[in-house]
Amino acid sequence: MSGHAPPGLGEPEFFGHSHAPAVPSGPPGPPEAERLHLNGVLLPGGEQVDLWVADGVIRTEPVADAVTVCSDAWILPGLVDAHCHVGLGADGAVPADVAEAQARTDRDAGTLLIRDAGSPVDTHWIDARPDLPRIIRAGRHIARPKRYIRNYAAEVEPDELIEEVARQALRGDGWVKLVGDWIDRSTGDLAPLWPADVAAAAIARAHDLGARVTAHCFGEESVHELVRAGIDGIEHGTGLDDATIALMAQRGVALVPTLVNLENFPAFADAGEAKFPRYAAHMRALYDRRLATIGAAGDAGVPVYAGTDAGGTISHGVLGTEIGLLAGVGGPEFALGAASWGSRAWLGAPPVADGAWADLVVYAADPRLEVGVVRHPELVILRGRVVTR
């Protein structure tokens, strides 16, 4: 369960930290990169536009010899899966060919930018592949021994956390991923993995190194402590209360709820019922109020982004399903922004503009009216090339 802005586009500011990680730009398109023309409604603005693509970037003036690939379509900036695990399988690390297939599956569904929220393998080789999505990595999950899924995390005790955070900050692309809570067999329920003061010191160390920190949090106690410790993001967030939501909104702490994964809570509860009835009851309660919790966060102004938690036991390529679930919480435009333009701005990707990345997804119908259309892109353009149609 489990960034480097291109030259000339400037660096975004991330929650007040002086060093802003940017999105890896990847290699330029090949000399034979396509010359394309697109006509349609560009979201989020909703204006009818003509866009051209040449040399892997968007042009707003006509390009000679461009081939028209869509007319009267709906055009979105490339989708973002803000919680994904390329290189992770049910039993831990997967071979490179499996990781490639995972990334390709996401790409074909319109996901052109991934924030990888923890992987046991180094996938930086993907950056040399112009046909695969851009990835921002968080290094490897950090957990305590025997307090998380086997073979997923770098496992350390609290007195080693600061050192491990520094190691993973250097391994990733500006993010570090903590496991904030997991079942504690001594109590039979969810419990934080880290003392609050140790977590705060580790987060501060990551910030000193220019990295942001996010954490897996199912229960109430861990998210309460970690937000107050200065964390930058929360994954899942089912244990949020009103006070913590207000503090997240005030500080700009991001929430990636992974509603696709939350649908598994009843099964998690059933699996733990015999040994850990308290945990089972807790997971069911968190599940029952999940939509109200995430809705309250969005209403309060917490920045909410779409992530599937793909990898491990969750299939890749299901961002369209996540968007549909988010639309049920806050409406289609809320969900589309969380999976496209809003997420891209948060991670430092450029908007659709002259000279910017030609990473676009095209639909046959207006996803604001038929949100399910996002599961079936007509055209996916990555780095200026049509990769699926």
* CATH code of the domain covering residue 284: 3.20.20.140
Q: Cβ distance 32 to 130 under 8 Å?
A: no
Q: With contact defined as beta carbons under 8 Å apart, do 140 and 153 qualify? A: yes
Residue 384 lies in a domain: no
Q: Give domain status of residue 341, yes or no.
A: yes
Identify the burial level of 331 via C-beta atoms within 10 angstroms of its C-beta, where 0-12 means exposed, 13-18 middle and 19 or more buried: middle
Query: Residue 86 carries which side chain, given as an amino acid letter?
Result: V
Residue type, 277: P
Query: Please, what are the averages of pLDDT over each run of 10 residues along the chain (389 residues)?
Result: 30 30 45 82 97 97 97 98 98 97 98 98 96 97 97 97 97 97 97 98 98 98 98 98 98 98 98 97 98 98 98 97 98 98 98 97 98 97 93
Count of Cβ atoms closer than 10 Å to residue 343 Cβ: 26
pLDDT of residue 226: 98
Residue 103 domain-assigned (yes or no): yes
Please state the domain count of the chain.
1
Q: What is the pLDDT of residue 388?
A: 86
The pLDDT value recorded for residue 389 is: 76
- Which of left, alpha, beta for 334 (phi over 0: left; psi -120 to 50: alpha)? alpha
For residue 31, the model assigns a pLDDT of: 42
Q: Is residue 111 part of a domain?
A: yes
Domain with 255 in it: 79-347
Task: Look at residue 153 and tell me if it is in a domain.
Answer: yes
